[in-house]
Amino acid sequence: MAAGLYTMTIDCDFFAATWENPKKSKVAGKLAYAPVPKGPKGRGARIWAWSLAVPSSAANKEAAWLFIEWATSKPVLWWSTVKYGNYMPVRWSVLNSPEVTAITEKWGNGTWREAVTEMYAKYTLGSFYTPLPEQITLLNILSDAIQDAVAGKKTVEEAMKWAKNEAVKALKEAGYSLPV
C-alpha cells in the first residue's frame, strides 16, 4: 500500500501509521478507511493480539508480573505511541489521548478513527488463532507456500500440498496425534 501499487486492502488498523507517513508512503493523505464489508454472516473482524504472560513454571513470577504491569501501564504505552508510533496501544485511554488523537484524526480525513472505533465497538469477533506453541512455525510454513505459489516456483496445488505435509510433520514432531 505505502508504495502506491494497489488501491484497496482489508488489513490491520495498525498499518495506517506507515501509510499515512509522507516520509514512508506515496499514498499519505490520499486514503479513506471504513469498517470491513458485511458478508453472508454479517460484519465482523477478528482481533489480533500479541500477549504477555507469566508461565506457571516461571522462577520469578512476581518480577515478571511487575514487568507486565509496567509495560502495559498508561504512561509507558503513551510514551511508546507518541515517541515510537505504536498507534494501536492496548489502552483506549492512550488511543484517545489528546496527543494521539491530534495525529490520528487526520488520517483519511477522520475516517480511520471512525472505522477503528466502530469496528471495536460493534464488530470484533475475538482472536482467530488457536493458542498453539507451534503457531509461528505453522504461519511460516503457510507464508513460504504462498510465496512459492505467487513467485511461480510451485503451482498453488503443489504449494498447498507441501504446506500440509510440513504442517503435519511439525505437529507430529511436537507430539500431537493427528488423524492424517
| Per-residue confidence in pLDDT tens, the chain, 180 aa | 778 777 788 888 888 999 999 999 999 999 999 998 888 888 887 766 677 889 899 999 999 999 999 999 999 999 999 998 888 888 889 999 999 999 999 999 999 999 999 988 888 776 666 678 898 899 999 999 999 999 999 999 999 999 999 999 999 999 998 886
- Coil, helix or strand for 45? strand
Co-location of 78 and 58 in the same domain: yes
Of residues 175, 43, 64, 67, the one with CA closest to residue 122: 43
Co-location of 120 and 148 in the same domain: no
Last residue within a domain, chosen from 86, 106, 125: 125
**Is residue 178 one of the residues assigned to a domain?**
no
Co-location of 143 and 55 in the same domain: no
**Is residue 24 one of the residues assigned to a domain?**
yes
How is residue 48 annotated by DSSP?
A: P
**Is residue 46 one of the residues assigned to a domain?**
yes
Co-location of 21 and 61 in the same domain: yes
Co-location of 30 and 79 in the same domain: yes
Neighbouring-strand partners of residue 124? 45
Co-location of 52 and 89 in the same domain: yes
**Is residue 92 one of the residues assigned to a domain?**
yes
User: For residue 89, with 0-12 CB atoms within 10 Å meaning exposed, 13-18 middle and 19 or more buried, which class applies?
Assistant: buried
What is the total count of domains within the chain?
2
What integer pLDDT is reported at residue 30 of this predicted model? 94
Prediction pTM value:
0.66
Co-location of 148 and 72 in the same domain: no
Domain extent for 154: 135-173
Whole-angstrom Cα distance, residue 73 to residue 65?
A: 12
- All 3 cell numbers of residue 53? 504472560
Co-location of 41 and 94 in the same domain: yes
**Is residue 7 one of the residues assigned to a domain?**
no
How is residue 120 annotated by DSSP?
A: I
**Is residue 1 one of the residues assigned to a domain?**
no
What integer pLDDT is reported at residue 75 of this predicted model? 96
